[in-house]
Structure 1
């Protein structure tokens, strides 16, 4: 399989004010934004990685940038679970989220040697068990960044063509196993510069629909909240100004990508809410080509918020920790 990566964000289940969380969670209305009224969990592992940076600023007497590092450390960031060994990170995150509440490994699950079955039993099942142990928390989970993007656009590459059925079934199985009332699932939908071109939009919607229907064969009624875009990438949520290399694309920024993809998803009866990774998109137009993705010096983007200006965008988030 392609990199077997799931992303997990823990959101404190109580509102910002001190309100007790019900011991037994109730199923939320289907069209309520799961991020509203929640605290975004600040990933302690990422925070610790920034300690050295803060110390360096303090040694130079640069109190302003040291304070900025502290702000980043306190900003909600998704927990990246990339392999079986990383599953213990879920337990750590759950424990920390409760404490804070007011009051890919390409080789590990290769398609050879029973990789798909191992992915299901050794990774997804254990991941789902860990999540199910915390019914008092609210989870937003992004499934398998880049996997379906490669399925949709890279069928001419033998490796990707061979991996496609495994990726589709693996993601469908994960959807079916994570049908908990306190979980909102977002399938990774790459980004506007990848799947947002006019020719790719209907292909993307068709593939996403196929995967969701397959999930429903594993568990009747299985569903998702929507899609995550721009994970690990540098596209702005709202381009100002629009980059020259986006001239022929309707998806010249991530907001327009969501708006462009949504009608195709709706026509395919697929849920069409979005979260957008903006953790690396602070400075716009820092590259010459849309395909430039390695260490683009775009800086930190807007901090996570539900103030998105769009009914279909649930939240701006930091999925990929900036600088990692």
Structure 2
């Protein structure tokens, strides 16, 4: 979501990393789990867009009303960010089974697992419910991960792509100078390792959050990030596997930029496709699977930002390219919409923004107006 500290990147951004030596790859399936499946359309998020639709209809804006209807039919991930959100998994399973039965097409359900103790250690806009000094790690394991795993394991007729803890490990790469992040580091590693170990099911495909190109994509940060990821997977235990990594969660970077922004000048990871390519040899050097999904739920318009560090309700922005497995990058499994567009990043950025996670209809309207044309390809 946001790179709170780019000191390492600035110090090393103009350098070229030494070519890492590959290790034997981690055990993972060679089959893209998204291939040949329908990405789940979350009816709960689609219902929120009813307000946006009514806003356009009230204005007599037929074109954007029709666009909103198409957006409502686009797949997004389901966020499970608190213990009280666990029923979101049950609702998604029920809706996916209904869609699977009606369409005859296999569903892959995107879920976000996001409730680490001391969450969002460097910013606080999305601070969570659990605290490490209040038995947070044990609660995370027993009250959050255990039922989470039981629910997806029981739904053997569905496939799941699960994003593990946005922002967390990125903070451990660049923000250890922040007191809360330094304190949270062992808890983050232990928590994510436990989640990986608990979700080893054939119908579950795990993607560790790898921040985004503007955060970890600098030459000096790439090997540090890969080593951090490798440490966590090692903690999960021998034979435990992940499918790969997810980038750009809740951020605004384009997958393949049509315009290279000035602030990317010193980075080889100037869009998310280049970031995936840049990170790949460092992952392989640690024996990690270099497979990616890229969040394109929201993409800024050229010139919208003056620096990568602008992360909150960026404007102007639009819904990004429609979810697809046609990525023109061999290490990228799929473009996905992880962030449900229209939900605020926090009380920052665009004027009138509500608290993080609350519906921000003025922003949703902007996203519809500026949406990538691929979303409306059936028009």
User: What's the TM-score once normalised by structure 2's chain length?
Assistant: 0.76
Provide the residue aligned with 2:155 in structure 1.
134
1:312 is matched with 331
The Cα of 1:121 is off from its aligned counterpart by 0.5
Q: Distance in 2 between matches of 1:285 and 1:184?
A: 36
Query: What is the CA–CA distance in structure 1 between the aligned matches of 2:167 and 2:58, rounded to whole Å?
Result: 40
**CA shift for structure 1 position 299:** 0.8
Cα deviation for residue 282 of structure 1 reads 5.6
- Which residue does the alignment assign to 1:207? 228
> How far apart in 2 are the matches of 1:303 and 1:313?
15
Tell me the CA shift for residue 44 of structure 1: 1.3
1:290 and 2:289 are equivalent in the alignment: no
Identify the residue that residue 120 of structure 1 maps to in structure 2.
141
Deviation for aligned residue 1:59: 2.6
State how far apart, in whole Å, the 1-side matches of 2:298 and 2:80 are.
20
Kept in 1, the 8 Å contact 2:300–2:314? The answer is no
Shift of 1:157: 0.9
Q: Give the Cα–Cα distance (whole angstroms) in 2 for the partners of residues 284 and 31 of structure 1.
A: 36
Once residues 31 and 70 of structure 1 are traced to their aligned partners in structure 2, the CA distance between those partners, rounded to angstroms, is 36
Q: Does 1:229 align with 2:247?
A: yes
The answer to whether the Cα contact below 8 Å between 1:149 and 1:195 also exists between their aligned partners in 2 is yes
Structure 2 counterpart of 1:257, from 275, 284, 288? 275
Matched-pair contact (CA < 8 Å) for 1:282–1:302: no
User: Per the alignment, in what secondary structure is the counterpart of residue 50 of structure 1?
Assistant: helix
In structure 2, C-alpha distance between the alignment counterparts of 1:107 and 1:252, rounded to whole Å: 31
Could you tell me whether the CA contact under 8 Å between 2:82 and 2:128 is conserved in 1? no
Cα deviation 1:233-262 (Å, max 9, x = unaligned): 001111122100000011110001000001
Please tell me whether the aligned partners of residues 298 and 320 of structure 2 are also in contact (alpha carbons under 8 angstroms).
yes
Deviation digits for residues 95-143 of structure 1, max 9, x if unmatched?
A: 0000001245645221112111110010011100111110000100000
CA contact (8 A) 2:253 2:300 kept: no
* C-alpha distance in 2 between matches for 1:286 and 1:108: 33
Where does 1:1-324 land on structure 2 (aligned, <5 Å)? 30-101=29-100, 102-103=103-104, 104=115, 106-216=127-237, 220-281=238-299, 283-297=301-315, 298-324=317-343
Work out whether residues 236 and 284 of structure 1, in 8 Å CA contact, stay in contact via their aligned partners in 2.
no
Give the 3-state SS of the residue equivalent to 1:161 in structure 2.
helix
Tell me, which stretches of 5 or more residues in structure 2 are unaligned?
A: 1-27, 105-114, 120-126, 344-379
Residue 88 of structure 1 deviates from its aligned partner by 0.2
Aligned to 2:21: none
For residues 155 and 280 of structure 1, the distance between their equivalents in structure 2, rounded to whole angstroms, comes to 28
Q: Unmatched 5+ residue regions in structure 1?
A: 1-28
Give the Å deviation of 1:37: 0.8
Query: How many aligned residue pairs are there?
Result: 293
- The equivalent residue for 2:363 is none
The answer to whether the Cα contact below 8 Å between 2:207 and 2:242 also exists between their aligned partners in 1 is yes
In structure 2, the CA distance between the partners of 1:201 and 1:155, relative to structure 1 (3 Å rule), is same
User: Aligned-pair distance for 1:274?
Assistant: 0.2
- 8 Å contact kept, 2:304–2:314: yes
Are the equivalent residues in 2 in contact too, given 1:283–1:301 (CA < 8 A)? no
C-alpha distance in structure 2 between counterparts of 1:294 and 1:186, whole Å: 24
Q: Is the 8 A contact 1:142 1:188 kept in 2?
A: yes
Distance across 1 between alignment mates of 2:170 and 2:80: 19
d(CA) in 2 for partners of 1:156 and 1:267?
27
